[in-house]
Each structure stands twice: as C-alpha cells, then as structure tokens.
C-alpha cells in the first residue's frame, strides 16, 4: 500500500501481545489466535488509538493471566462474536466469565461492559464447537491492570 494522507489509520499489522506472543500462532498452547494487538497508541505511532485485541478462539482453555480476577483503570468491553452465518447469535461455544463475584456462562454473541475498577475474570473457554471471535477494547491507551 502506498503512503497516503490517511493510510496510517488502516491497521493491518501490529506487534505481538507482550504477555503471550505465541498467541499469534494458530498452533500454540494459547486457546486463541490473535490477529491485532494495539497498545500504547501503537508505541506512539498512532496518537489517540485505544487499546484493542482481536482473537479467534480455536479450542478450549485459558491463559494464566486470565485465571484470576483483575480490574483496569479504564472501561473495558469483552466481546464474544459467533461466526455462524445461519445464526450470528449462536456463539459456537461455552465461556465462563466472572464479573465481580458473579459467575456467568456465555453461549450467545454478547458484549460485556466492565466499568473502570470492576473486577473480572477468570475467563475460561470451556467448549469450542466452531471458532468464534473474542475482542477486548477499552478507553485506555495501554493495557494496564489497576
């Protein structure tokens, strides 16, 4: 792609996630394969770019950093998107997510809003019948835990 006035806003390549860089690989111990990870305004290259991570969940499991409750100093969305073209609301799997002291089971496409300071996790992918998308984003410039 040739450099253009607004070309920098089309983000197709990002650094690997620093906590689990192997998640970029389809065959890894991580249950998902991430495609985009934006942190710290893409290391200053894109001023104003909020934190974002996009992942395709491929198999059951979790990662150690998501097995314990934590919170952030920013609002965060955790988005679970089914990819069944005959029923976009059928997640195609089963996810356990704790919000505060409540355990929730997710089997449908949904967005979970975790306000700043709200404890969330563990996050465990119990069942994956077909791949589905898991996206997290927040109104912070870096992924920090508070």
Per residue in 110-146, pLDDT (tens digit) is 999 999 999 999 999 999 999 999 999 999 887 777 6
Asked if the model's pLDDT at residue 2 lies above 70, the reply is no
Q: Is the peptide bond preceding residue 33 cis, with omega within 30 degrees of 0?
A: no
Spell out the residues 6+ positions from residue 67 whose beta carbon is closer than 8 angstroms to its own: 121, 122, 123, 124
Residue 100 is encoded by which pair of tokens? 């505060």
Q: Could you give the 3-state DSSP secondary structure of residue 26?
A: coil
If you classify domain 29-138 with CATH, what class do you get? mainly beta
Q: What is the pTM for the complete model shown? A: 0.92
27-69: per-residue pLDDT in tens? 999 999 999 999 999 988 899 999 999 999 999 999 988 899 9
């Amino acid at each position: 792609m040739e450099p253009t006035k607004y070309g920098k806003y089309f983000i197709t390549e990002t650094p690997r996630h620093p906590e689990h860089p192997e998640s970029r690989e389809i065959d890894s111990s991580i249950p998902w394969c991430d495609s985009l990870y934006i942190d710290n305004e893409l290391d200053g290259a894109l001023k104003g770019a909020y934190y974002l991570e996009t992942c395709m969940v491929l198999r059951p499991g979790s990662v150690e950093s998501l097995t314990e409750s934590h919170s952030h100093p920013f609002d965060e969305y955790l988005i679970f998107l089914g990819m069944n073209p005959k029923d976009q609301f059928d997640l195609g799997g089963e996810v356990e997510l704790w919000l505060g002291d409540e355990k929730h089971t997710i089997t449908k496409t949904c967005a979970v809003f975790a306000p700043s300071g709200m404890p969330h996790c563990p996050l465990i992918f119990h069942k994956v019948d077909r791949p589905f998308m898991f996206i997290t984003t927040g109104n912070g410039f870096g992924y920090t835990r508070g």
